[in-house]
């Protein structure tokens, strides 16, 4: 008997409503916060849009705009070249990453309770071990998302700036190294403005998620939302960045496919 074609299976499951499509992307909006680095460094641009025409003398039958932003504005993808540790790796730019890396399975580690109590909540190897005891070993080439419900914050509470810089949850160096070295993940995703904790600059090495992920040719996704709509295991994602020549990252639409029932 002919084996079912997996693509036909997926399309029939989508048509029959057996698979829910969850949008993990924030709207690109001038009001959406971007990462703020110490003042001596270059800064990330917010999203801006400028009208070219709107069914008027500038274009009687059409409406269109010019938009500008950083590669790292809004919900976006980080490529290995983004970090000095990944600068010499092959296929390390958004236009050279193999396309099959933009479709894959995802596991979600729920750190929302801890993050509600502690702005600097850390994903640790112990939390990962407890998660695996309940859900099984993280499969190789999986994406790992750290759910914090931080996407439910708005305005100043999202970056959560204090006198000593931003305070938001993230992984310890040991946790991200474990996920890469012991589980061979594809990438790490967060709801916060970066894959690193707000105080990530103070770890050794500084910004350990960026340093280790990109140094190992892995990817980052940040500023996502709706991770609370994903199961701990069993979902898959599409996360294809714009094909920018030599790009270090790009805003993108992240979609999850979640089996129903």
Shortest distance (Å) from residue 32 CB to ligand 23J: 13
Binding of Mn ion at residue 218 (CB under 5 A)? no
The strand ranges marked E within 1-124 are 19-23, 48-56, 59-68, 76-78, 103-110, 122-123
Q: How far apart (Å, rounded) are the C-alpha atoms in residues 97 and 41? A: 28
Can residue 121 be called a binding residue for ligand 23J (CB under 6 A)? no
Residue 71 interaction partner, one of ligand 23J, Mn ion, none, beta carbon < 5-8 Å per kind: none
**Region from 38-46, 78-86, 175-183, 239-247 binding Mn ion, contact rule CB under 5 A:** 78-86
Q: What are the respective helix, strand and coil percentages of the chain, to the nearest 5?
A: 25, 25, 45
Selected binder of Mn ion within 72, 186, 214, 218 (CB under 5 A)? 72
E-strand stretches of the chain: 19-23, 48-56, 59-68, 76-78, 103-110, 122-123, 143-147, 161-162, 165-166, 170-171, 187-190, 219-222, 235-238, 249-251, 255-259
Nearer to ligand 23J by Cβ, of 112 and 222: the residue is 222
Q: Out of 37, 52, 84, 129, which residue is the one contacting ligand 23J (CB under 6 A)?
A: 37
Taking the C-alpha atoms of residue 161 and residue 13, their distance in angstroms, rounded to an integer, is: 44
Q: Which of 35, 144, 146, 213 binds ligand 23J (CB under 6 A)?
A: 35
Residue 196 touches which of Mn ion, ligand 23J, none (Cβ within 5-8 Å per kind): ligand 23J
- Token couple for 90: 């092959």
C-alpha to C-alpha distance for 214 and 210, rounded to whole angstroms = 6
Structural tokens at position 96: 């050279």
How far apart, in whole angstroms, are the C-alpha atoms of residue 71 and residue 89?
Answer: 19
Residue 84 touching ligand 23J (CB under 6 A): no
The one segment of 131-139, 153-161, 163-171, 194-202 that binds ligand 23J by CB under 6 A: 194-202
148 binds, among Mn ion, ligand 23J, none (CB under 5 to 8 A by kind): none
Q: Which CB atom, from 185 or from 193, has the smaller least distance to Mn ion?
A: 193
Contacts to ligand 23J by CB under 6 A = 35, 37, 72, 78, 82, 194, 196, 200, 207, 210, 222
Contacts to Mn ion by CB under 5 A = 72, 78
């Amino acid at each position: 008997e002919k084996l079912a074609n997996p693509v036909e299976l997926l399309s029939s499951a989508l048509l029959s409503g057996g698979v829910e499509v969850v949008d993990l992307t924030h709207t690109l909006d001038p009001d959406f916060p971007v990462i703020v680095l110490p003042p001596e460094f270059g800064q990330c641009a917010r999203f801006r849009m400028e009208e070219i025409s709107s069914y008027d003398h500038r274009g009687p039958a059409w409406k269109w705009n010019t938009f500008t932003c950083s590669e790292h504005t809004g919900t976006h993808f980080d490529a290995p070249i983004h970090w000095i540790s990944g600068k010499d790796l092959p296929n390390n730019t958004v236009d050279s990453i193999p396309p099959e890396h933009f479709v894959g399975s995802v596991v979600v580690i729920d750190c929302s309770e801890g993050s509600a109590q502690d702005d600097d909540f850390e994903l640790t190897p112990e939390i990962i071990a407890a998660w695996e005891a309940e859900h099984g070993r993280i499969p190789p080439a999986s994406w790992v998302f750290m759910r914090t419900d931080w996407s439910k914050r708005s305005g100043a509470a999202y970056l959560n700036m204090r006198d000593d810089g931003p305070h938001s949850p993230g992984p310890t160096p040991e946790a991200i190294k474990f996920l890469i070295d012991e589980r061979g993940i594809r990438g790490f995703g967060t709801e916060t403005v970066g894959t690193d904790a707000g105080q990530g600059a103070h770890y050794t090495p500084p910004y350990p998620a960026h340093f280790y992920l990109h140094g190992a040719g892995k990817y980052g996704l940040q500023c996502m939302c709706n991770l609370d709509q994903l199961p701990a295991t069993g979902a898959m994602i599409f996360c294809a960045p714009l094909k920018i020549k030599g790009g270090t990252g790009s805003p993108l639409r992240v979609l999850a496919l979640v089996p129903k029932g």
